[in-house]
Amino acid sequence: MTGGPVAAQSMGDEQARLKQNLDEIAGRLATLREAVRPASDAIRRTINGEDGEGAVELVLAPDGRVESLHLDEDWRELVGEEGLEEAMLQAYRAAEASRMSDWTDAVAEGEREATGESSARPVPPQKEPGDPSTPEAGEQARIMFDVLRGARAELASFRAQLQQQVERQSETSTPDRAVRVRRDGQMVVGIDIDDRWLANSSDSMIERTVVQALRASAEDSEFDPDEALANYPSLSAMQALGSDPDQLLRRLGVTR
């Protein structure tokens, strides 16, 4: 019988390449996890934003929701009633931009530190080779390929759902319809204030009502990708498979 040793060698090479690729992916994911953790801590604080004239200051809470809004006592001279909506939008966007900048900077710094730490760590011992030719390993491989095929079939629909959420336009008003917040997906694109209500309201009333509207708008536009993923069993299964590369290698018989 010919070809046995060659086939065995080929299978061994494939196992080695698979293990190397999975090890690289696992290392990269570990580095990113180490980077993202301190980044999340970096934005767990209040963050302020102001408009260009200093008429409006908006404060985001550590969880990213609007905590408060403050009008300068001279806001009518600085921007006027006709410019207040735009000033509020500028302040909100400035706070959001500052929060995102802090997060991305912290991720980059954390990744540099994590990469440096990982390169300084001793190389972990090599895992004991497994036996992918066993019936159990073959069954796990079949399951994995079935999951991959199913995930490929579900991916277009899942992407479409995410895109639909990103592009979804929404409007949220206070109960008295004095303030309305407009969003494109997760982005606030407009804050509309009733002219008559604005002219007859105190600064403190304006501040409280706009904060109420922004908070309600954020709740209306909340989207949980993990919750959406629950509707796609193969994608959910693939996510679970990739959560522990070491366990996946053992299940496939690549390592023990």
Domains, in order of start, for the chain:
1-124 (3.30.1310.10)
Cα–Cα distance measured from residue 92 to residue 188, given in angstroms and rounded to the nearest whole number: 8
Cα–Cα distance measured from residue 91 to residue 105, given in angstroms and rounded to the nearest whole number: 21
Is the pLDDT at 61 greater than 60? The verdict is yes
Nearest to 210 by CA among 105, 64, 57: 57
DSSP-derived 3-state class of residue 200: coil
Q: What is the pTM of this model?
A: 0.65
Is the pLDDT at 250 greater than 80? The verdict is no
**Residues 6+ positions from 222 with CB-CB distance below 8 Å:** none
The crossing angle, in degrees rounded to 10, of helices 80-120 and 4-42 is 130
* Whether 75 contacts 58, CB under 8 Å: no
Residues 138-187: tens digit of each pLDDT: 787 788 788 888 888 888 888 888 777 777 889 999 999 999 999 988 88
Residues 79-134: tens digit of each pLDDT: 999 999 999 999 999 999 998 888 788 777 776 776 665 555 555 556 666 666 77
Q: How confident is the model at residue 58 (pLDDT cuts 50, 70, 90)?
A: very high
Q: Which residues of 131-146 are buried (b: 16+ CB within 10 A; e: fewer)?
A: ebeeeebeebeeebee
